[in-house]
Amino acid sequence: MRTWADLDEFQAFLDDGGMVEADDDMPEEYRHEVFRFIEFHANSELMGGLTERDWIPHSPGLRLKQIFLAKTQDEIGHAHLLFMVAADMGVKTRDEMMNDLLAGKTRFHNVFHYRAETWADQIAIAFLVDAAAFASQRAVFAKCTYGPYKRILRRIVGEEGFHMRHGEEMLLKMASGSQVQRDLFQAALERWWWPAVQLFGPDSPPDDPLLKWYIKSERNEVLRHAYVQKYVPLLHGYGFTVPDDGLHQDPDTGEWMMSEIDWAPLKATFSNAGPDSARRLANAVRNHAESAWFRESIGVSA
């Protein structure tokens, strides 16, 4: 077990490219902040699976059903791995994390407080949300100083890359399909564009400890801006309209500039007051309660 005399020595260790392991005597500030970040990530993967599950029964083909099952299984698998990595940090057990999530005491990503209204929403999630998550997670993986998390992220980022490519393939089918399909995706885009952009969060604070400790390698606003530069031209290229009246290209740089972001919808999700938060959590609580007898009988965590 390694130990550090003070935060300055710990910071120097991180600045030199050091990697923290679960059995290290890490500073409590680091332990709690990294734990909170991984718990949030785990919660989000699980609730993301619940967002996607609604349309799997209606998959318009057996192979598509298998593909979307495998994709959602990946998300649940990510949650599983992340909960275990978080539990090893010794802050909360897996059961405590699950109970806190279901009690609304901990958060999950804003996008999973929204409901997939149509099959096209399922595709918008794969194309827009998975891509945003991929960009965000890849940036965490880049310099991540917590070893167990970095090793899990290698797998997560790899799988999310497949999800993103699948989303692109599905979108191409919608874009080159019938008017019904194009209209369906345009409506989904109008529901999911802003939540996807907001997923990166407000601008990072100047003293963000996650940046200082190299859990994040890039500021939120930088990642968000890069996402917009990539996805606006892609969506335009497919013939869709990005739902932002103020969207324009900077005449000097050619960069896509968005309207000012309204952060109120994001903040509402912080207190589980998003459009579908109540239903999603209520369903999760009910399902968890209904199968408690089985978990107890075989002595396992949720």
Partner 1 sequence: MTLVSIDDGAREYLLALADDEHMMGSHLAWWIGIAPFLEEDLSLCSIAQDELGHAIAVYELLVDDVDHFALRRQPSEYRSCSFVEMALPQWEDTLIRHWLYDVGEQIRWNALVDSSVPELSSIAQRALAEESFHRSHSTLLLRRSLSGSEEARQRLVSSMESLLPQSMTMWSPVTGEVAALAGGVTSLSSSDAETAYSEAVQADLNEWGISLNWAPTSAPHNDRVDRVEGFDEFHASLNLVLDLDPDTEW
Contact residues: partner 1, CB under 8 A = 46, 49-50, 52-53, 55-66, 69-70, 72-73, 76-77, 79-80, 83, 119, 173, 177-178, 180-181, 184, 283-284, 287, 290-291, 293-302
- Nearest approach in angstroms of CB 286 to partner 1 is 9
Nearer to partner 1, 62 or 264 (CB): 62
Place of tokens 């929204």: 114
C-alpha span between 172 and 194 (Å, rounded): 21
Nearer to partner 1, 73 or 271 (CB): 73
Nearer to partner 1, 12 or 292 (CB): 292
Q: Which 3 state secondary structure label does DSSP give 257?
A: strand
Nearer to partner 1, 176 or 241 (CB): 176
Place of tokens 């500030």: 29
- Nearest approach in angstroms of CB 142 to partner 1 is 27
* Residues 6 or more apart in contact with residue 186 via CB below 8 angstroms: 240, 241
Nearer to partner 1, 229 or 291 (CB): 291
Q: Helices (DSSP H) in 88-219: which residue ranges?
A: 94-102, 119-124, 130-143, 147-175, 179-198, 209-212
- Nearest approach in angstroms of CB 77 to partner 1 is 6
Contact 33, 56 (CB under 8 A): no
C-alpha span between 88 and 71 (Å, rounded): 26
- Bridge partners (DSSP) listed for residue 256: 249
Nearer to partner 1, 249 or 287 (CB): 287
Query: Secondary structure of the chain: what % helix, strand, coil (to 5)?
Result: 65, 5, 30
- Nearest approach in angstroms of CB 280 to partner 1 is 10
- Nearest approach in angstroms of CB 298 to partner 1 is 5
How many helices (H) and strands (E) the chain has is answered by 13, 2
- Nearest approach in angstroms of CB 60 to partner 1 is 4
Tell me the two tokens of residue 261.
């972001």
C-alpha span between 157 and 134 (Å, rounded): 6
Nearer to partner 1, 99 or 204 (CB): 99
- Nearest approach in angstroms of CB 262 to partner 1 is 30
